[in-house]
Amino acid sequence: MTGPVTVAIPVLNGERYLDEVLEAVVAQRVDRELELLVVDSGSSDRSLEIAREHGAVVHQIGGREFSHGGTRNRMMSMARGDHVAFLTQDATPSHAGWLAALLEGFEQADDVAAVFGPHDPRPDASHMIKAEMERHFASWGNGGLELDIQRLDRSPAGIAAYREFPGQLTFLSDVNCAVARWAWQQVPYREVPYAEDQLLGRELIEAGFAKVFHPRARVLHSHDYPPSRFFRRYFDEFRSLREVLGYRQAWGPLRTAADVRGLVAADRRWLSSHGVRGRAAAWPLAVSARHHSLRTAGAILGSHANRLAPALRGALSLEGRPDFNPYEVPDTLLEAGDSFHPGWQWNFVRKGYPRRPPAVDPGSARPRGPLTVAWVVPTWGVGSGGHTTIFRLVRQLEQRGHSCVIHVFDPEGTEPRPGGRLREEIREHFVDIDAPVLRGLDSFAGADVAIATEWRTAFPVRDLPGCREKIYLVQDDEPQFYATSAQSIWAEESYRMGFRCVAYTPWMADILRERWGLEARYFECGTDTNTYSYAGPQGREPGLVAVYGRAETERRAVDLALAGLTMLFERRPGLRVILFGSNFAIAAPLPARDLGVLAPSELAMLYRRASVGVVFSLTTHSLVAQEMMASGLPVVELDGANVTSALGQSGELVELADRTPEAVAAAVERVLDDPAAASEMARRARAFAEKRTWERAGDQLEEALFDFLARPRQPALNL
Amino acid sequence: MTEEEPTAEERAVQAEAALQAALQERNKLWAELQERHSTDQDLAFWRGRAEDIERSRWWRAGAPLRLAKRVLADPAAALSDSAGALRERRRTR
């Protein structure tokens, strides 16, 4: 059942219009309970009485407790509705469908955080006010006539356009708007004295949420003052804009004259469209000129109020306020913030807050058919197992008729080579792909699916525009890669972003589901059984141990393997150890040959020669182990749920060792001492690996993509 | 005699085939766009590298040798090229 909707109105001596406003609110036709909430900050007129007459829940606060942002946060907390519509005490809903229109705005997409509507001037408003409001609200929805959903396009061109005309996206007026509770919980009003709605609008948009203009959510609202009061009001308004948003009205003799002339010309067009032309328009235009001159003067002085003496500020202010208190505004995309620290490798994390859901284009379920898939990958080194898996999956999708592109995300700037060279390297050292390789995301051109492949890539992928779905390919429990650190926190953050996940193993999928509440499917990595062809026990060199020695990857526990093998070497001096997989020379405590990074064909030869393969994984089990298994090489792995969930108990497919040097030595020795049992285990392991082909992994991934695209996203996020 | 109307099932099959063809065409265009972006990026990269080289002291130091080599190979063409380059430099200055 739909919960209530709240209409919240802050009030102070609002007797003049309050009765009319509340009557119009109570008359609203909505399909749910309507809660009317009034917070009064010390009215001395009949406001309280009027509010109670209309059945409002009235809450009284002291005048000093009031601030536009703080009080609205308080009202959001008190309100029972999932959506809270804000009005001011002088904004009257134009018709009984006003609230329903605001609610309809939220139905346009799951990520709509706020809805606002136009203000119609009251009949007694001056022609300047009428013309200005008409012009202003015609900026949205094709001249103010249609529903208009606004989102920030985070492409470089989109950000540039946003910086040029921010108001188009950021405008929000809580004279007449509604805010979704879920969005407010993430982006509350700032506790600022003024301009709280403009700041909220900006923060919601920059957080990646949508905002909707609904032309039917109209209210009657306008102010008309004598010229001197208008001037002083504009002074106050623009001082607040400067204090809170840092706004400065540009000025200069020619520029200001041109500005005023432009505004008067706009009024002349408006008057003409309403039949006031020629001599009849002379006096109204003179009034326009006076109004806009005073308005512009108020705006210039107000937005430069920091340069004025307090006594002068007090005299110019309608509120009599002499101070100037700049507010520390949060970082914003409107500033060229990047220019301060352009090379800082964690800028992408800094921009990743506040939390927001993945930006996904709304749309119906996608039929099965060829997809466009954008993979965002971190930089790599030759021999990287994670990238081998990614590129093999890219190839698998290509072979199924999907089109792929690979974007290399390199926040550290460590990769100098152009995309063409990178593609050559992938083809030479990993797999022969068709996908073009692009550096960075500046050329991102949308895709059916964007896939993040590592925790860092999750940050930019979340905000990429023009995608129907965002997927997180999780190969490992990456927060475990780091000691307690900012990186471990940020890696965990990638699990809070609301991605749909495809995990490398059932074990990883369980972690994502159970610990992080994410929707996760899995694939099981394949093995190239042609390259890693089976060799039986004949021809293997007794006592030859092949050790995956990728010491730069700490989760491979290479030192533990070396400690165990050293212990074994002391009692079996005939043991011969070959290390491979590292780009750096390994300082081994026992005689060992270090072959470094080997090509797959060289690895296959090694696996056919050796009698034992030692490969450890403290998190997800390793592709290297599976390739050894495919080659008929008996494998020693470390015991743990990450391994047993995929490979069973010790002796079934691999020999397992507890995490001590003695246990490692004992496990290797068991394999060496009982070649018959080891060979039998290796045969079972080969049969296992034969079933885990890359074609099967490709099928599993493709099925996951189709499944996710066929079902609309659930808005609930693990935030 | 009128041609028999396709059944709803046949129309569905035809529509499905048309949809698949449209998706394939869209994918092809998308892939071409990505290739274009990749080429543009590469071009910008190599152009930058070439400019870096041409700005380097070693490259400028070798200019007389390169000119001499060209003059020896084809004096008329080399002198004509040099005159053209000088005119271009004056024009852009």
**pLDDT bracket for residue A368 (50, 70, 90):** confident
Which parts of A473-632 fold into alpha helices (H)? 486-493, 506-514, 558-571, 600-609, 623-630
Give chain A's contact residues with B (Cβ, < 8 Å): 367, 369-372, 401-403, 405, 418-420, 423, 434-439, 443, 445, 447
Interface test with B, best of A403, A422, A444 (most B CBs within 10 A): A403
If you average pLDDT over residues A528-548, what whole number do you get?
93
Q: What is the pLDDT of residue A335?
A: 61
By the CB < 8 Å criterion, does B19 face chain A? yes
- Average pLDDT of A195-214? 91
Q: Using a CB-CB distance cutoff of 8 angstroms, which residues of chain A are in contact with residue B40? A: 443
Chain B residues with CB under 8 Å of A401 CB are 24, 27
Give yes or no: residues B68 and B49 share one domain: no
Same domain (yes/no): B66, B50: no
Same domain, B30 and B75: no
Q: Which of A427, A451, A474, A437 is nearest to A372 (CA)?
A: A451
Band the pLDDT of A525: cuts 50, 70, 90: confident
Grade residue A326 by pLDDT with cuts at 50, 70 and 90.
Answer: confident
- C-alpha distances in angstroms, A590 versus A371, A610, A657? 52, 18, 20
Does residue B31 share a domain with residue B9? yes
- Which residues, in sequence order, are CB contacts of A5 under 8 Å at separation 6+? A30, A32, A33, A34, A35, A81, A82, A83, A84, A85, A99, A103
Give percent of chain A above pLDDT 70. Answer: 96
| Among A135, A97, A101, residue whose Cα is nearest residue A116 | A101
Residue ranges, comma separated, of all CATH 3.40.50.11090 domains in chain A are 360-522
Distance from CA of A402 to the nearest CA of B (A): 8
How big is chain B by its Cα radius of gyration, in Å? 29
Contact call for A369 and B45, based on CB within 8 A: no
Lowest mean pLDDT among A360-374, A435-449, A570-584: A360-374
Residue A715 scores a pLDDT above 50: no
B59 in contact with A at a CB cutoff of 8 Å?
A: no
| Domain identity same for B67 and B36 | no
Structure tokens at A53: 């007459």
Contacts of B13 in chain A (CB under 8 A): none
Q: Touching check for B45 and chain A: CB below 8 Å?
A: yes
Rounded average pLDDT over A565-585: 94
Average pLDDT value for chain A: 91
For the domain with range A544-692, which CATH number is right: 3.30.1490.20, 3.40.640.10, 3.40.50.2000, 3.30.450.20?
A: 3.40.50.2000
Q: Is the predicted pLDDT of residue A533 greater than 90, yes or no?
A: yes
Report the half-sphere exposure of B92 (CA within 13 A, side-chain side): 6
CA torsion angle A435 A441 A442 A444 (round to 10): 50
Selecting from A403, A439, A443 the residue whose C-beta is nearest the C-beta of B30 gives A403
Q: Is B18 on the interface with A (CB under 8 A)?
A: no
pLDDT at A182: 92
Q: What share of chain A is helix, strand, coil (3-state, %, to 5)?
A: 45, 15, 40
Contacts of B23 in chain A (CB under 8 A): 369-370
What average pLDDT does this structure show over A88-117?
95
Q: Do residues B33 and B55 both lie within one domain? A: yes
In the predicted model, is pLDDT for residue A506 greater than 60?
yes
pLDDT at B79: 82
Flag whether pLDDT at B50 surpasses 80: yes
What is the average per-residue pLDDT within A206-228?
A: 91
Asked if B41's CB is within 8 angstroms of A418's CB, the reply is yes
Rounded mean pLDDT, B61-79: 88
Count of CB pairs separated by less than 8 Å, A with B: 56
Residue B38 to residue A369, Cβ atoms within 8 A: no
pLDDT digits (tens, 9 = 90+) for A658-695: 999 999 999 999 999 999 999 999 999 999 999 999 99
Identify the band that residue B86 occupies on the pLDDT scale cut at 50, 70 and 90: confident
- Inter-chain CB proximity A418 and B40 less than 8 Å: no
Q: Within A455-498, where are the H helices?
A: 455-463, 486-493
Ranges A76-85, A355-364, A429-438, A444-453: which has the least confidence: A355-364
CA A85 to chain CA centroid, Å, is 26
Biggest CA pair distance of chain B: 87
State whether residue A44 is helix, strand or coil.
Answer: coil
Residues of chain A with CATH 3.40.50.2000: 544-692
- When the candidates are 3.20.20.410, 3.60.21.10, 3.40.50.11090, 3.40.50.720, the CATH number that belongs to A360-522 is 3.40.50.11090
Helices A623-630, A675-691: crossing angle, 10 deg rounding: 110
pTM of the entire predicted model: 0.61
Which of chain B's residues have a Cβ under 8 Å away from the Cβ of A433? none
Task: Label residue A673 exposed, middle or buried (CB < 10 Å: 0-12, 13-18, 19+).
Answer: exposed
A693: which 2 tokens? 């082909």
Predicted confidence (pLDDT) at residue A329 exceeds the cutoff of 70: no
State which of A90-94, A153-157, A335-339, A599-603 shows the largest mean pLDDT.
A90-94
Q: Residue A370: list chain B partners with CB under 8 A.
A: 20, 23-24, 27
Q: For A380-438, what is each residue's pLDDT tens digit?
A: 988 788 999 999 999 999 999 999 999 999 998 889 899 999 999 999 999 999 999 99
Find the residue in A nearest to B32 (Cα): A436
| pLDDT at residue A333, as a whole number | 66
Integer CA distances (angstroms), A263 to A259, A290, A291, in order = 6, 11, 10
Q: Write down the pLDDT at residue B40.
A: 93
Alpha helices by DSSP H, A379-418: 385-399
Whether residues B42 and B75 share a domain: the answer is no
| CB A707, CB A521: distance < 8 Å | yes
> What burial letters (b/e) apply to A186-196, b meaning 16+ CB within 10 Å?
bbbbbebbbbb
Task: With beta carbons under 8 A apart, name residues in chain B contacting A403.
Answer: 27-28, 30-31, 34
A288 is written with which tokens?
A: 């326009």
Residues of B in contact with A367 (CB under 8 A): 19
Q: Which domain covers residue B72, as residue numbers?
A: 62-93
| pLDDT tens column, A273-319 | 999 998 999 999 999 999 999 999 999 999 999 999 999 999 999 98
CATH number belonging to domain A5-220: 3.90.550.10
Instruction: State the nearest Cα–Cα gap between B47 and chain A, in angstroms.
Output: 11
Contact (Cβ atoms closer than 8 angstroms) between residue A219 and residue A120: yes
CB contact under 8 A, A372 and B37: no
B41 with B69, same domain: the answer is no
Q: Give the confidence band of A558 by pLDDT, cuts at 50, 70, 90.
A: very high
The tens digit of pLDDT for each residue in B24-38 reads 999 999 999 999 999
Rounded Cα distance, A607 and A628, in Å? 6
pLDDT of A1 strictly over 80 = no
The answer for residues whose C-beta is within 8 angstroms of residue A500's C-beta and 6 or more apart is: A469, A470, A471, A472, A518, A519, A520, A708, A713
Query: What pLDDT shows up at residue A339?
Result: 45
In this structure, the answer to whether residues B49 and B70 fall within a common structural domain is no
3-state secondary structure at position B55: helix
Pairing of strands A83-87, A119-120: unpaired
Residues A235-271 pLDDT 10s: 999 998 888 888 888 888 888 998 999 999 999 999 9
pLDDT value at A7 more than 90: yes
The per-residue DSSP string of A135-154 comes to HHHTTTHHHHTS-EEE----
For tokens 């992408």, what's the residue?
A348
Chain B residue at shortest CA distance from A421: B42
Residue of chain B whose alpha carbon sits nearest to that of A444 = B34
Q: Note whether A706 and A368 are within 8 A (CB).
A: yes
Residues pairing with A268 in the sheet: none
Q: What's the burial of B2, exposed, middle or buried (CB within 10 Å: 0-12/13-18/19+)? A: exposed
Position A716 pLDDT exceeds 60: no
pLDDT at residue A336 above 90?
no
**Which structure tokens are listed for A539?**
């021809």
Predicted local confidence at residue A479, as pLDDT = 93
Q: Which residues of A touch B24 (CB under 8 A)?
A: 369-370, 401
Whether residue B50 sits in one domain with residue B28: yes
Residues B50 and B34 in one domain: yes
Instruction: Please indicate whether, in this complex, the C-beta atoms of A405 and B34 are within 8 angstroms of each other.
Output: yes
pLDDT of amino acid A327: 80
pLDDT at residue number A364? 62
pLDDT score for A155: 72
pLDDT score for A111: 87
Same domain, B42 and B86: no
Work out how many domains chain B is built from and give that number: 2
Are residues A41 and A11 in contact, defined by beta-carbon separation less than 8 angstroms?
Answer: yes
CA distance A463 to A460: 6
Closest CA to A103 of A171, A197, A188, A32: A32
User: What does DSSP say about strands A5-11 and A467-474: parallel, antiparallel, or unpaired?
Assistant: unpaired
